[in-house]
Every structure is written in C-alpha cells, then in structure tokens.
C-alpha cells in the first residue's frame, strides 16, 4: 500500500510518460510532476557516500543536493540563474524555493550512486523516509528537467515462478516470460523456462523501437539506407521527450546509426520518428511479421511517437481514434483504414498538450503499440540474428549501449524498456557463459499507480536473471 508522498507537486519531470524509455535504473517519465513513495520496499542498506563527477550535470546535481541540505533556498534570482526556460515555464522562479522546502521534509539525503553523461544523469539517494532516484537533465547549461521517483526494490526470490507471482501480485494485468534461446537446426527460438500469460497482448510503449530498429536493419541490408547516411531533422518529426534530439534546430544532420543508437539507448522519440520517416511507415509494419510478431495487424497503422502524443494529449482526437475501433485488439482492415483516416486528418501541432489528458492512460483506447511477451522475445532473437551479419553488425552494440541492469556472469545484455501512463515493460537479451536467456516483463492498468515502480521491476529482473 502506498501511503506516503514525495513532495514533488511542482517539480518538472525529466520527460513525458508516453513512449518513454527506461534509464538507470529503468524508469518512466511521467507527465504528472508528483510521485508516490512506497513503504512496501525493504529497508535500505546503510548508505556509502560517493562523489559526483566533475561534469556540467555533476555540478548541477551537486547544486541540487546542496540546496536539499540547506535551510532554505533557492531565491528567485538563483532559480533564474540555474534553471532553464522549460523548467521555469512549469514552476515560476519565486515558487522553486517552496518546492525544495517540501523536498527537505523527506531528507536528509545521502548520495549512494551516480550514472550519467555530461548533460544528464541519475543519482540514487538514501534517506530516512524512503530511497529515491533523482534524475536531472541540462539544456544550454541550465537544469531543464528534474525528477524524483521512489527507489523501490523487489524481494529476493529463489525461483522464476516466485518472480512471476510477485509481478502478478503487483500488477494483475501482466505477463512474465523467461526463455532460453535454443536452436532447431539453424533457427534460434525462445524456449520458455517460466511463463505466465506470455501470449496476452499488452501495450509495449517504447519497446516498439525494437521493430523500428529491425526495419532500419532491413533497409541497410536491402541497400536503401546505410548506417553512415545522414538524415535531416525537420520540425515535422520533432516529438516530445524522452530524448534530446528534439532540442536541435531543424536542418541538423544525424547519421542513421547515431539516430538508432539514441532511439534505443536514450529512448529518443524524435530519433525514432526520424527513422520511421526514413524507412516509411509501411516498412515498419512489414517488419513486425519478419520479426515474429503473431498479429502484425494490431499495429496497423504503426504510430509515430508524435502522433501518439498529439492524440494522447487531445481528448477530442482521442475520441475520434477510439471510435474507429472496438478496442485496442480490434484489428480488422476496416479499422486500420479508419484509423489511417484519423491520422491523415491530424491538424498541425506545436507540441503543446493538456497535462491532465496526457497523464491519463490511453493505451486502452488503441493509442500505443501492442505485442505479447512471446512476440518481444522473438523480436530480440531476430535482431541478434541480424547483428550476426555484416550489414546488421551495428545492431548488437546499439542494443547493448544501455543494458538497464547488472547480471553476474553476463557477457552481453541487450535491453529495451518502455512506459506510458498505466503501463510499464522491460525486455532483456542476456548471454552468459553457457546459455542465452530472454526475460520479458509487462504490466498494464487503468491508472499510472496500477503498475509497479520501475525500480521495483528492474530489481525483479535482476533477481530473476542473477
């Protein structure tokens, strides 16, 4: 039961919840700027302080931690000096001090781990109230995103069956698949070790990007794209967070390989839409079958993240989309054509949205991407087959750029996760000294609170694979 609340009512989130990817540890990016702390987690270990790196984001994170340890602040002038326009557009400078005053009630905080680049990072903080993750991002040298989420951990387990049951207890609408990759002749396939509802169709959020990566690999193999080819960023493909490519000016050049890397490792939505634009919507739709999806028609038309955001944040458009079908699993050709008509009629959009509408689940209205745990297992296996070819060689490094978790003895981890309001999923391809395993965890519900905390699900994955 959740019954204590982190004081985050006015803190700007790192990114929006729809189409998000998972970062260290896998985490969603909610549109709402509040987060609940759970008292279900086990007591944290005694914190061992660490130092932040001498980088722009490390220095910014230290400023935040110093403020949390201070008696007051920041002043409006200090807030304007340190915080970016996007942040201050959500939280006026003269109100930032009040937010920090609320946060201090959860402290004192001790930094116990850090993972990041020069411009964004995740800090694990211990406190008497509850362990939390602080995620911070910079734009033009200023803090433009700041989010605190509970760092809830799953209990230790002895068997995969226990892990499956723990997930079911947390999220009644969920699926669990732990499989070993075996071979029938030259064909690799997923052989279940433990499974529950692995054939149930659920929203997959940013895990759809696995299929985009597959379509890109096919285009390279066919000679219609190269990994070194430069794509041009346009305003029409810019999307909402996650990802930083949206901040670059129109006309910016990015290689296919760089866009694919950003799409997978940072779950960059604009990079995903840029690649969909490059290969074509129909190519991604065709890729679903190639990669072993049991019902590709569930994702026809295959949405861009920009389309999903625009519909998800506009109640009127959501209603039109929902009226075109009898539910997200209604996948007739007539439904597909009706939904394509809705997409073709979308008005011009400046990336603004209604926060309340965007923050409520819309996956059950058909605004998402859909697959089973078995489908996602097959997708990972297929991508590794591509990676073993010369044209597909970059795929392997792209999927492993951010492994999501640590697994003792693993020599390779490919990872993609995703979340939308009311849904969270993680998928891993793990090579060990003796065998290859794939783990897929999915959950969905009718509210953002109806799915597990991402840190809890990530620790469940580590416990299952460890």
Sole residue written with tokens 């219609």: 224
Domain boundary among 122, 150, 178: 150
pLDDT of 20 strictly over 80: no
Domain co-membership, 211 together with 345:
yes
Is 12 among the domain residues? yes
Domain co-membership, 136 together with 199:
no
Is 155 among the domain residues? no
Host H or E run for residue 204: none
Domain co-membership, 26 together with 93:
yes
Q: Is 229 exposed, middle or buried (0-12, 13-18, 19+ CB in 10 A)?
A: middle
Is 309 among the domain residues? yes
pLDDT at 39: 26
- DSSP lists the bridge partners of residue 370 as 203
Domain boundary among 150, 170, 190: 150
324-362-212 Cα angle (round to 5)? 85
pLDDT of 26 strictly over 70: no
Residue 91, classed as helix, strand or coil, is: coil
> What's the CATH code of the domain at 200?
3.40.710.10
pLDDT of 464 strictly over 80: yes
Q: Is 44 exposed, middle or buried (0-12, 13-18, 19+ CB in 10 A)?
A: middle
pLDDT of 312 strictly over 90: yes
Q: What is the dihedral of CA 32, 164, 372, 188, to 10 degrees?
A: 130
Domain co-membership, 280 together with 170:
yes
Q: At 14, is the pLDDT very low, low, confident or very high (cuts 50, 70, 90)?
A: very low
Give one DSSP letter per residue of 411-433, joined into a string: SEEEEEEEEETTEEEEEEEEE-S
Domain co-membership, 274 together with 399:
yes
Could you say which DSSP state residue 12 is in? P
> What's the CATH code of the domain at 140?
3.10.450.280
Q: At 97, is the pLDDT very low, low, confident or very high (cuts 50, 70, 90)?
A: very high
**Residue among 78, 73, 3, 87 nearest 38 (CA):** 3
CA 211 – CA 334 distance, rounded (Å): 24
pLDDT of 461 strictly over 60: yes
pLDDT of 44 strictly over 60: no
Mean pLDDT of 334-341: 96
Domain co-membership, 40 together with 167:
no
CA 40 – CA 96 distance, rounded (Å): 30
Domain co-membership, 205 together with 331:
yes
What's the domain range around 32?
4-150
CA 407 – CA 26 distance, rounded (Å): 14
Domain co-membership, 292 together with 344:
yes
Is 266 among the domain residues? yes
CA 163, distance to chain mean position in Å, is 22
Please tell me the total count of domains within the chain. Answer: 2
Could you say which DSSP state residue 291 is in? T
Is 259 among the domain residues? yes
Is 172 among the domain residues? yes
Domain co-membership, 290 together with 412:
yes
pLDDT at 166: 98
**Sheet with 132-139, side-by-side order of all strands:** 110-116, 120-126, 132-139, 142-150
pLDDT tens for each residue of 165-178: 999 999 999 999 99
pLDDT of 270 strictly over 60: yes
Query: What share of residues in the chain are helix, strand, coil (percent, to 5)?
Result: 40, 20, 40
Domain boundary among 115, 150, 185: 150
pLDDT tens for each residue of 384-434: 999 999 999 999 999 999 998 999 999 999 999 999 999 999 999 999 999
Is the pTM higher than 0.75? The answer reads yes
pLDDT of 3 strictly over 90: no
Q: Which of 6-15, 45-54, 61-70, 194-203 has the lowest mean pLDDT?
A: 6-15
CA 25 – CA 146 distance, rounded (Å): 16
Domain co-membership, 87 together with 165:
no
Domain co-membership, 144 together with 185:
no
Domain co-membership, 114 together with 178:
no
| CB 449 within 8 Å of CB 36 | yes
Is 447 among the domain residues? yes
Is 112 among the domain residues? yes
pLDDT at 48: 53
287-292-296 Cα angle (round to 5)? 60
pLDDT at 354: 84
């Amino acid at each position: 039961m959740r019954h204590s609340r982190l004081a985050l009512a006015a803190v700007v989130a790192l990114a929006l919840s729809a189409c998000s990817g998972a970062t260290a540890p896998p985490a969603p990016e909610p549109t709402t700027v509040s987060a609940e702390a759970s008292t279900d987690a086990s007591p944290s270990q005694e914190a061992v302080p660490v130092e932040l790196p001498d980088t722009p984001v490390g220095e910014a994170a230290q400023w935040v931690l110093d403020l949390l340890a201070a008696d007051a602040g920041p002043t409006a002038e200090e807030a304007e000096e340190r915080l970016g326009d996007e942040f201050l557009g959500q939280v006026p400078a003269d109100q930032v001090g009040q937010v920090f005053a609320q946060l201090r009630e959860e402290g004192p905080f001790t930094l116990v781990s850090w993972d990041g680049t020069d411009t964004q990072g995740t800090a694990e903080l211990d406190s008497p109230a509850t362990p939390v993750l602080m995620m911070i991002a910079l734009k033009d040298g200023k803090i433009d995103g700041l989010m605190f989420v509970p760092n809830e951990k799953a209990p230790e387990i002895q068997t995969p069956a226990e892990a499956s049951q723990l997930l079911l207890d947390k999220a009644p609408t969920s699926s669990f698949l732990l499989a070993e990759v075996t071979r029938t002749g030259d064909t690799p396939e997923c052989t279940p070790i433990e499974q529950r509802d692995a054939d149930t169709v659920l929203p997959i959020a940013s895990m759809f990007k696995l299929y985009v990566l597959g379509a890109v690999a096919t285009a390279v193999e066919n000679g219609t794209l190269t990994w070194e080819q430069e794509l041009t960023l346009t305003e029409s493909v810019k999307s909402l967070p996650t990802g930083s490519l949206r901040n670059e000016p129109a006309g910016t050049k990015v290689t296919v390989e760089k866009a694919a890397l950003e799409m997978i490792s940072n779950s960059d939505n604009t990079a995903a839409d840029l690649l969909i634009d490059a290969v074509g919507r129909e190519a991604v739709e065709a890729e679903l079958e190639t990669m072993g999806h049991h019902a590709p028609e569930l994702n026809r038309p295959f949405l861009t993240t920009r389309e999903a955001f625009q519909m998800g944040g506009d109640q009127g458009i959501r209603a039109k989309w929902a009226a075109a079908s009898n539910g997200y699993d209604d996948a007739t050709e007539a439904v597909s054509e009706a939904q394509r008509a809705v997409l073709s009629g979308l008005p011009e959009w400046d990336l603004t949205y209604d926060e309340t509408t965007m923050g409520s689940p819309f996956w059950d209205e058909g605004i998402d991407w859909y697959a089973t745990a078995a489908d996602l297992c097959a997708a990972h296996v297929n991508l590794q087959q591509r990676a073993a070819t010369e044209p597909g060689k970059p795929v392997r490094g792209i999927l492993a750029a951010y492994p999501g978790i640590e697994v003792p003895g693993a020599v390779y981890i490919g990872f993609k996760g995703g979340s939308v309001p009311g849904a969270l999923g993680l998928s891993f391809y793990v090579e060990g000294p003796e065998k290859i395993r794939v783990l897929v965890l999915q959950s969905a519900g009718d509210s953002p609170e109806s799915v597990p905390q991402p840190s809890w699900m990530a620790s469940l994955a580590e416990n299952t694979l460890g």
